[in-house]
Amino acid sequence: MCSIFQITCDGAFFNRCVDCFLGKAAYIRNLQDNLVALDTELENLIAKKNDVMRRVVDAERQQMRRLDGVQVWVSRVDAVKTGADELITDGSEEIGKLCVGGYCSKNCRSSYKFGKQVARKLQDVETLIAEGVFEAVAERAPEPVADKRPTEPTIVGLQSQLEQVWRCLVEESEGIIGLYGMGGVGKTTLLIHINNKFLESPTNFDCVIWVVVSKDLRLEKIQEDIGKKIGLFDGSWKNKSVEEKAVDILRRLGEKRFVLLLDDLWERVDLTEVGVPLPSPQNTTSKVVFTTRFIDVCGSMESHRKFKVACLSEEDAWELFRGKVGQETLESHHDIVELAQTVARECGGLPLALKTIGRSMAYRKTAKEWRHAIEMLRRSASELAGLGEKVYSILKFSYDSLQNDTIRSCFLYCCLYPEDYSIPKWDLIDCWIGEGFLEESHSFGAENQGYYIVGTLVRACLLEELEDDHVKMHDVIRDMAIWITGEIEKEKRNFLVCSGAGLKEAPDVKGWENVRRLSLMQNQIETLSEVPTCPHLLTLFLDFNRELKTIADGFFRCMPSLKVLKMSNSGKPWKGLELNLGMPKLGSLQLLDISHTCIQELPQELKLLHTEDSVLFGGGEVLIQELLGLKYLEVLELTLGSYHALQILLSSNKLKSCIRSLYLQLTGDTTLIIDATAFADLKHLNELRIESATKLKELKVDYTEIVPKRREPFVFRSLHHVTIQSCQKLKDSTFLVFAPNLKSLSIVKCNAMEEIISVGKFAETPEMMGHISPFENLQMLDLLGLPHLKSIFWKPLPFTHLKEISVRCCPNLKKIPLDSNSAKERKFVIRGEEDWWNPLQWEDEATQIAFRSCFQPHS
């Protein structure tokens, strides 16, 4: 028996099988020809690519940008060439496998696979040859958002400020931003980094325009710089009027999101006249950032946000200085690093000075050279490293731009004070008044003018404002001022400044003859044994020479022009100085400061003087009687050691009108109750100190008489600073309710003090308790050694100007008058012991949370 298998196959299926077999066979049969063709066509493709790339290079040399399509094609050619080269290299091995005249292979599977790859790669090459026909290979590159400006790669000490300004530009609604600070502090550097950051970080702005304005403000120049950036500037446009250009700029910028960077403004630029659309919180499509040395310019430009660019911290200053000097020099001698740090500190954190001096010291590799540099910086800084030419001349623009000679004279006067000295504003202004700089005829009117000038110098960044009505002159600014007086204004002013120089002997008096202003302040001079001849001397500072023992008879005899004489804090405090001024010869004297010299009596000759302003400290009834005889006395700062002397003072309308500072040391055995309302007659009283009044029981005010009638006969409007110390019987200081402008209050070692403001004093006038809100302008509250203190005030206060509360050794003060509203305006520092802070009672949890971060423990 046999079986028969029958397969039935239709024609279509058979044909497909044959085609498939023949197709696969073709990859093997055509392999050799395809490899030859691939090699040939690849050469053609590379030649075409080279032709295209020559056109691309030529175009890019003309500042054109390669087309994206061309770049994609070139990339594909490179990729195909890599694959084709590999196939051509491996081809000889695969051809060796062929047999039967090339129609079959010893390894059909391998040859088929390789033949297929060659055929497809050949097709890719032919396709790329066909696609490689380009009418244009490049196009004009679009203008960059900003023009990159050269600067140092790192921005030492200003990175945080850079990020703040950047957030304002790209995230917030502020339209006009001002960067202000003294010359050489790095404002332009910061602005350059802002400009370049637009090239690194994508934003929605279309263009960033850089304009240097400088002192010589010309609207045409600003318009030209803007026109060049936005494609308006050509021959015909240049000839248009300012008004016509403004119309063109407004139309073009109105279509763009732009940032305008204005460097070095000295006065207001009217953006409307220029043609710049005004930025605003509502119009965030445009921004303006400018730099200036004057905070007033921030106001006149109506800036929505301003940033002060300050000097570098000591750490950042050292980093910048070290980079300029170089590690090789710093490591060349074991003493140089420490000496270099001293030099860096002398620069006061001013980048311009740090860079200039750092570069000049870069290859000074001996310790002696560095010690010499320190000596030069302290003695005659302008001679070191060309500071006069490279630094002071730049800073001097701020001096030159001051409004008039009066303000310039007031500025230069500040250099008489020692380096890093905290200058009391009132002391400085007194000297200006004494010199006759100020125009007002009455001293208190002149004082107001003086405060205006101080404010002008602060806003010009030529003085730094400190706490408690003090200012300071930056070290480099002071050196620049001394340089001006010695080099630029030599013939006019003739300054000799030796303050804070560590002198034990006064400079040779032969050099004083032509001097107009001489400062020997803050030295260790022991004797003034020579008699100088100073016909032109107007100001003499001798204060803070604590070692001073003797002053030669007739020392002041040949100083007929002297107007200001300051001798405070000179001599040993327990010994004092005998004051033999030769007063008949000092007929021009306007200001005499002999505070803290233990001088008990004034010379009889003083009564002969036509004294406009005298600042006198002393004590006792004898001094008061002598002061009563000073016909022209206008300003008085006084220390009194007896209650009787105080009574005499308060009985004199003349003396009461002069008092600016009153320091009471009321020792004695009798219990005192002082009527505080009497102080209200001291209309100009700025500072009140009551110290060691061990028997003072009360500073009394009749609240029942005053409060219901809402009378203000004794409001202490000018009282800014109060210190109460070692008054062992005093239980409160409630009279301060009527000092609305009080800035600082210090109460120290008053063992009986229970309340700062007593609720009991208002018990008979409860309707007024809700209306009393003291300390509205208080900035500093210092409480120390008050073991029985329980209360500052009976309800929370807003404290809108407070900067610091300091509490030490006040164990019974369990609560401070704060609530969550007290933190709304501003944050302030609360200092104290942790044992006092941790159990402190709060108005509510929200208040505790709000002030938790304000605490700083006393060390």
For residue 255, name the pLDDT band (cuts at 50, 70, 90).
confident
Q: Does residue 826 form part of some domain?
A: yes
Note whether 329 and 277 are same-domain residues. Answer: no
Task: End-to-end CA distance of the chain: give it in Å, rounded.
Answer: 117
> Is residue 671 in a domain?
yes
Q: Are residues 433 and 289 in the same domain?
A: no
Q: Are 786 and 669 contained in the same domain?
A: yes
Summarised one tens digit per residue, pLDDT across range 294-310 is: 999 999 999 999 999 99
Nearest to 696 by CA among 662, 719, 669: 669
Residue 405 lies in a domain: yes
Whether the per-residue pLDDT at 616 is higher than 80: the answer is no
- pLDDT tens string 113-156: 777 887 888 888 888 888 888 888 888 777 788 888 888 888 89
Q: What is the mean predicted confidence (pLDDT) over 641-666?
A: 84
CATH number, domain of 227, equals: 3.40.50.300
Domain assignment present for residue 605? The answer is: no
Phi/psi for 725 (5° steps) reads: -140, 135
Burial of 568 (0-12, 13-18, 19+ CB in 10 A): middle
Same domain, 711 and 686: yes
Asked which of 385, 414, 447 is the last residue of a domain, the reply is 385
- Give tens-digit pLDDT for 798-810: 888 888 999 999 9
Coil, helix or strand for 210? strand
Instruction: Supply the pLDDT for residue 152.
Output: 84
Q: For the purposes of burial, counting CB atoms within 10 Å of the CB of 785, is it exposed (0-12), middle (13-18) or buried (19 or more)?
A: middle
In a domain, 423, yes or no: yes
Q: Which residue has the higher pLDDT, 561 or 703?
A: 561
Helix/strand number for the chain, H first, E second: 29, 30
Task: Give pLDDT tens digits for 188-202.
Answer: 999 999 999 999 888
584 and 561 Cβ atoms separated by less than 8 Å: no
Within 10 angstroms of residue 760's Cβ, the number of other Cβ atoms is: 12
Same domain as 225, residue 198: yes
Residues 91, 35: Cα–Cα separation, whole Å: 7
316 band by pLDDT with thresholds 50, 70 and 90: very high
d(CA 684, CA 636): 10
- Whether 370 and 448 map to the same domain: the answer is no
User: Where does the pLDDT of residue 341 fall: very low under 50, low under 70, confident under 90, or very high at 90 and above?
Assistant: very high
Q: What is the pLDDT of residues 362-378, one digit of tens each?
A: 989 999 999 998 888 88
Higher pLDDT, 586 or 840: 840
Q: Are strands 64-66 and 138-140 parallel, antiparallel or unpaired?
A: antiparallel
Residue 589 lies in a domain: no
Pair (252, 108) in one structural domain: no
**Structural domain tally of the chain?**
5
Residues 279 and 379 in one domain: no
| Mean local confidence (pLDDT), 210-233 | 89
Answer yes or no: is 684 within a domain.
yes
pLDDT above 60 for 13: no
Most confident of the following: 15-29, 325-339, 790-804: 325-339
CATH number at residue 782: 3.80.10
pLDDT on residue 744: 92
Q: What is the pLDDT of residues 699-736, one digit of tens each?
A: 887 765 554 444 454 578 889 999 999 999 999 998 89
In the prediction, which pLDDT does 258 show?
A: 93
Q: Which long-range contacts (CB under 8 A, 24 or more apart) does 35-40 make?
A: 35/87, 35/88, 35/91, 35/95, 35/118, 37/122, 38/84, 38/87, 38/88, 38/118, 38/121, 38/122, 38/125, 39/88
d(CA 378, CA 6) in angstroms, rounded, equals 118
- Regarding whether 482 and 421 lie in a shared domain, the answer is yes
**Quick check: 510 and 533 in contact, CB under 8 A?**
no
For 172, residues 6+ apart whose C-beta sits below 8 A from its C-beta are none
Whether 711 and 822 share a structural domain: yes
Report whether pLDDT(15) > 80: no
Alpha-carbon distance 442 to 142, whole Å?
67
Q: Which of 80-84, 221-225, 582-586, 661-665 has the highest mean pLDDT?
A: 221-225
Domain of 393 in residue numbering reads as 389-493
Give CA–CA dist 67/52, Å, rounded: 12
Residues 6+ apart with CB under 8 A from 22: none
**Is residue 768 scored above 80 in pLDDT?**
no
Amino acid at 754: E
Which of 450, 466, 493 is the last residue in one of the domains? 493
In this structure, the answer to whether residues 355 and 206 fall within a common structural domain is: no
Question: Please, are residues 793 and 819 in contact by the beta-carbon 8 Å criterion?
Answer: no
Q: Give me the chain's average pLDDT, please.
A: 84
Residue 765 has pLDDT above 70, yes or no: no
Chain centroid to Cα 370, Å, comes to: 29
Q: Is residue 507 part of a domain?
A: no
Contact call for residues 735 and 699 (beta carbons, < 8 A) = yes
Tell me: pLDDT of 63 over 80: no
Quick check: 66 pLDDT over 60?
yes
> Higher model confidence: residue 624 or residue 298?
298
CB 239 within 8 Å of CB 216 = no
> Per residue in 454-480, pLDDT tens?
999 999 989 998 877 899 999 899 999
pLDDT digits (tens, 9 = 90+) for 407-452: 999 999 999 999 889 999 989 999 999 999 987 666 667 888 999 9
Considering 454, 470, 493, which residue would you say is the last residue of a domain?
493
Do both 368 and 423 map to the same domain? no
For the four alpha carbons of 37, 42, 47 and 52, in that order, the dihedral sign comes to: positive
Q: How many degrees, rounded to 5, is the angle at CA 432 between CA 431 and CA 434?
A: 60
Whether 20 shows a pLDDT value over 80: the answer reads no
- Residue 753 in tokens: 């003090």
Residue 354 pLDDT level (bands cut at 50, 70, 90): very high
